Amino acid sequence: EVQLVESGGGLVQPGRSLRLSCAASGFTFDDYAMHWVRQAPGKGLEWVSGISWNSGNTGYADSVKGRFTISRDNAKNSLYLQMNSLRAEDTALYYCAKDARYTVATIKDWGQGTLVTVSS
Amino acid sequence: QSALTQPPSASGSPGQSVTISCTGTSSDVGGYDYVSWYQQHPGKAPKLMIYEVTKRPSGVPDRFSGSKSGNTASLTVSGLQAEDEADYYCSSYTGSNNFDVVFGGGTKLTVL
Q: How far apart are the first and last CA of chain A?
A: 39
**For a pLDDT cut of 70, what percent of chain B falls above it?**
100
Q: Which residues of B touch A61 (CB under 8 A)?
A: 1
Interface touch B102/A47, C-beta < 8 Å: yes
Q: Which residues of A touch B47 (CB under 8 A)?
A: 110
User: Which residues 78-97 of B have a C-beta within 8 angstroms of A?
Assistant: 87, 89, 91-94, 96-97
- The CA distance from A79 to A21, in Å, is 6
Q: Which residues of B touch A47 (CB under 8 A)?
A: 91, 100-103
| CA A81 to the chain's CA centroid | 6
Contact criterion met (CB below 8 Å) for A111 and A6: yes
Mean pLDDT of the B93-101 span: 89
Cβ-based neighbour number of residue B44 at 10 Å? 13
A75 CA: distance to closest CA in chain B (Å): 22
> Is A38's Cβ below 8 Å from some Cβ in B?
no
Amino acid symbol at B19: T
pLDDT tens-digit series, residues A12-23? 999 999 999 999
**For a pLDDT cut of 90, what percent of chain B falls above it?**
94
Q: Which residues of A touch B34 (CB under 8 A)?
A: 103-106
**pLDDT exceeds cutoff 90 at B20:** yes
User: Can you give the pLDDT at residue B96?
Assistant: 86
| CA B94 to the chain's CA centroid | 16
pLDDT band at A103 (very low <50, low <70, confident <90, very high): confident
Contact criterion met (CB below 8 Å) for B53 and B32: no
Query: DSSP 3-state helix, strand, coil percentages of chain B (rounded to 5)?
Result: 5, 45, 50
**pLDDT exceeds cutoff 80 at B76:** yes
Pairing between strand A114-118 and A10-12? parallel
| CA A88 to the chain's CA centroid | 18
- The CA distance from A103 to A83, in Å, is 29
- The CA distance from B100 to A62, in Å, is 11
Q: What are phi and psi of A38, to 5 degrees?
A: -120, 160
User: Can you give the pLDDT at residue B97?
Assistant: 82
Half-sphere exposure of A55 (CA within 13 A, CB side): 12
Interface touch A52/B105, C-beta < 8 Å: no
pLDDT band at A102 (very low <50, low <70, confident <90, very high): confident
Half-sphere exposure of B86 (CA within 13 A, CB side): 21
Interface touch A59/B99, C-beta < 8 Å: yes
Range of weakest confidence among A58-62, A88-92, A103-107, B84-88: A103-107
User: Can you give the pLDDT at residue B94?
Assistant: 93
Q: Best of B56, B60, B99, B108 to disrupt the A interface by mutation (most A CBs within 10 Å)?
A: B99
